[in-house]
Amino acid sequence: MNSHTRTRTNVIARKNAPNWMIFGIFALATVFTILAGVSRAQEDTTISHGISKFGELKYDADFARLDYVNPDAPFGGEFSTWAFGTFDSMNPYITKGSAAGSSSIFIESLMTGTADDTGSVYGLIAQTIEYPEDRSWAIFNLRTDVTFSDGTPVTASDVVFTHNVFLEKGIPSYRAIVGAEIASVEALDDYTVKFTFTAPSIGNDNLLLAAGTLVLSQAQFADRDFAESTLDPILGTGPYILDELDVGKRLTYRYNPNYWGADHPLNVGQNNFEYIRFEYYADSTAAFEGFKAGQYRYRNENSSQKWAQDYTFPAVENGWVVTEELANGNIGQAQGFFFNLRRDRFSDPRVREAIGMAFNFEWSNRTLFFGLYTRVDSFWKNSPLEAIGDIPADELAILEPYRDQLPEAVFGEPVYSPPVSGENQIDRSVIRAAGKLLDDAGWTIQDGVRKNADGEQLTVEFMNYSPTFDRVINPYIENLERLGISATNDRIDTAQYTERRRSFDFDVMITSYVNSLTPGLGLRQYYNSVNAQVPSRNVVGLENDAIDALVENILKATNRDELNLRTRALDRALRAMHIWIPQWFKDVHTVAYWDVYEHGDVTLAPFALGANSWWWYSEEKAARLAAEGAL
C-alpha cells in the first residue's frame, strides 16, 4: 500500500506538529513574522501563510511537502516505545494530577513549526494570519474544513473558549504571560478570530504568542470542568485518537481515518503509523529488559552505561535490533542540578558555587559515562548564543546598566565555567577553593560539619525519581560530605516528584531548561520574576530585576545579530548567578530499534528525530524477523 492510500477525507491544510512541539503555546513563543500584504478596512496589513522571526520563510505558500519526509512512506504498523513512571490524568494543561506525557497528542494549534527551521511557523488550523504595521492586533482566518475527531467543525468560538479557559483555569505561568500580552480574543464570524494585544509592538512576539494558541472543543466542556483531572481524553483535531488505556501502564493511540488534515503538504510523509503505543515502566532496568524482550520496539537511549555495555544481547547480535547514532542539530540544552532559591541557605551565590564545584564531571564522564558526554556549561551551549571568555565591549554595554544587580564576576572575570577536575573523585584544590567560598559565606566547619552563626547545619537534598541517577548522585554526595555538607539522595516516585516540584518542596532537582536557537517570549517562562512563585518553568524561583530586563531586551531584538548578542549577555549573567550545577550533553541521538522501522536522512530534520511521525513501518522487514523467530 502506498503511503497515503489510507482511508482519509480529501482536505487541504495542516501539519501535525511533532511531539516536541505539540504544546504550541509555549514552544511557538520563540518564533515570529513577515510576508506579503493587502488591506483591511483601508488599513495597510500583512497577510501570510506563515511567520518567520527573521528573514524569509523556507517554504512558499504552494510547497508540495517538507524536505525531510519520504512522500512514498508506507502507512500502517505500530510504533511502540516506553515512558518512565506512571500517570493518572489525560489533561496536561492543568496542575492537578500526573498527566500522561503523550496526552497532548490530540491537540493542535492555530499555526505550527517544522523540524528544519527553528525560526518559522505555518498555518495549521488557521489558513492565514493578518496584522497591521503596529502589530496591535492579529486576525486568524480559520480553515473551513477543520473538524474535531468526533466530526464536529472547529469555529472561531472554540478558539475564544480555549484562550479564556486557559486564562481562567490553566497553568498559572500561562496566565502570567498570555494575560499580560493579549487584551482580548473575539470571534468576528464563524471562521475569523481577532486577537487584540495590550499594546502595539515593533516586534513579532505577540503575533507568535497568538499563533501558538491551542484549540479545544467548547462543546466538550459544556458539562465538564476543565480544571478537574480526568482520564477522559481532551477532544482535539489531531491525527490520532485514543485506542486503549491501561491506567499507569499503557497508552495506545490510533490514527483517525477521518483526520481533517491528512493530505496537506505539511502532512505528506508524516503520521505514517496506524498505532502509536507507550509502555510505562516504574524502573529503567525493567524498561530495558522489556525492550530486549520485544515488548516495545523503539528506544532513544539516555544511559551512557547501557549504550556502551548492554547492547550486546542476542537480538543485536542476530541483526534483529539496530543501534544507531543519529545527528542531533539542537543546542546543548541546559541540563543540570537546579537549586531552589526559595530556600534561605541557597540565597548566597557563593554557597551555590561551592556546592557545584564538588561535582566532578570529568571523573563521572570517565568512570560512569564511558567518555560519551561533553560538559554543558552554558544555557545555549554550542550555538552563537553562548557567552565565551572575557566580556567583550558589546556585551559590557548591555550589562553595564545592571551592574548593581548582578554579581561582580560578570564584569571582572571570564564567563563562568565549572573547574576542570583531575583523576580523583574530587581534587584537593577544589576542596580548598570551595571551602573558602563557604567560609566567606558564613558556613564554617564546626564539630566537623558546616554550620552558620546560628548553629544551623548546611544540608542538601537531591530530589530524584530515576534509579539511573543514583550512581551519579551518590559519589557527588561523598564529595559534599568532604566539604562538611550533609547531603542525601531522596529518590521518590514520579507522582511525588511532580507534586513536590509544583509546591517548591525540594532543595535541588534534576531538570533541563529547554532553550531555543531563536529565543522569544518563552524566556519569561524560565527566567522572569513574575513566574518565580507559581508553578512554572522557573523552577529555581529566580527573581532578579536585571535578568527580567535582559529578557525584555532580547524580545526587542530586530535582527539575528542583535538577538544573538543580547542572549549572550543573558547567558553570561545567568552563569555568574550559579542557579544550577551543569551536567552534560551529547551531539548525537543514540537510538536502538527492532529492525521493523525505516527513516530518511535525519540530517534534513536537525531539530527533531520524528521517530513516531516521519519514520515508517516496513512490512517486509517485519516479515523477515517473524520468519526468523524474532517476533
Answer whether 18's CB lies under 8 Å from 610's CB: yes
Confidence of residue 3 (pLDDT cuts 50, 70, 90): very low
Residue 485, amino acid: I
The Cα–Cα gap between 373 and 531 comes to 32
Residue 464, amino acid: N
Distances (CA, A) of 442 to 360, 478, 507: 24, 22, 19
Over residues 70-103, the pLDDT tens digits come to 999 999 999 999 999 899 999 999 988 889 989 9
Closest CA to 417 of 476, 353, 364: 353
Confidence of residue 527 (pLDDT cuts 50, 70, 90): very high
Q: What is the DSSP string of 90-137?
A: S-TTSSSS-B-TTGGGG--BSEEE-SS-TTEEEESSEEEEEEETT-SE
Residue 29 has pLDDT above 90, yes or no: no
User: How large is the average pLDDT for residues 530-545?
Assistant: 93
Lowest model confidence (mean pLDDT) among 17-26, 132-141, 343-352: 17-26
**pLDDT of amino acid 15:** 33
Can you point out the beta strands (E) in 480-586?
A: 486-491, 508-513, 580-582, 584-585
The Cα–Cα gap between 467 and 51 comes to 43
Which residues lie across from 111 on neighbouring strands?
A: 123
Q: Which three cell numbers stand for residue 281?
A: 515502566
Confidence of residue 69 (pLDDT cuts 50, 70, 90): very high
Lowest model confidence (mean pLDDT) among 24-33, 240-249, 332-341: 24-33
**pLDDT of amino acid 495:** 85
Residue 360 has pLDDT above 80, yes or no: yes
**pLDDT of amino acid 27:** 38
Residue 366 has pLDDT above 50, yes or no: yes
| Contacts with 278 (C-beta within 8 Å, 6 or more apart), sequence order | 80, 81, 82, 83, 100, 101, 102, 250, 251, 252
Distance, C-alpha 166 to centroid of its chain:
19
Percent of the chain with pLDDT over 90: 77
**pLDDT of amino acid 2:** 37
Share the mean pLDDT of the chain.
90
Can you point out the beta strands (E) in 5-87?
A: 37-40, 43-48, 50-52, 78-84
**pLDDT of amino acid 4:** 36
**pLDDT of amino acid 475:** 95
Q: What is the DSSP string of 347-398?
A: -SHHHHHHHHHT--HHHHHHHTSTT--EE--STTBTSTTS--SSPPHHHHHH
Which residues lie across from 131 on neighbouring strands?
A: 46
Residue 458 has pLDDT above 70, yes or no: yes
- Interstrand relation of 240-246 and 321-327 (parallel, antiparallel or unpaired): unpaired
Q: What is the DSSP string of 274-318?
A: SEEEEEEES-HHHHHHHHHTTSSSEEE---HHHHHHTTTSHHHHT
The Cα–Cα gap between 298 and 78 comes to 11
The Cα–Cα gap between 459 and 102 comes to 36
Domains in the chain, start-ordered, CATH in brackets? 240-330+587-619+622-626 (3.40.190.10), 334-585 (3.10.105.10)
Residue 580 has pLDDT above 50, yes or no: yes
Residue 480: Cβ within 10 Å count:
24
Asked whether the CA dihedral 343, 347, 351, 352 is positive or negative, the reply is positive
Over residues 152-206, the pLDDT tens digits come to 999 999 999 999 999 999 888 788 789 889 999 999 999 999 999 999 998 888 9
User: How large is the average pLDDT for residues 277-297?
Assistant: 95
- Per 3-state DSSP, the chain is made up of helix, strand and coil in percentages (nearest 5) of 30, 20, 45
Over residues 438-450, the pLDDT tens digits come to 999 999 999 999 9
pTM of the model: 0.83
**pLDDT of amino acid 17:** 37
The Cα–Cα gap between 44 and 21 comes to 32
The Cα–Cα gap between 167 and 226 comes to 11
Residue that has been written with the C-alpha cell 547492547 in this structure: 311
Which residues lie across from 144 on neighbouring strands?
A: none
Residue 133 has pLDDT above 60, yes or no: yes
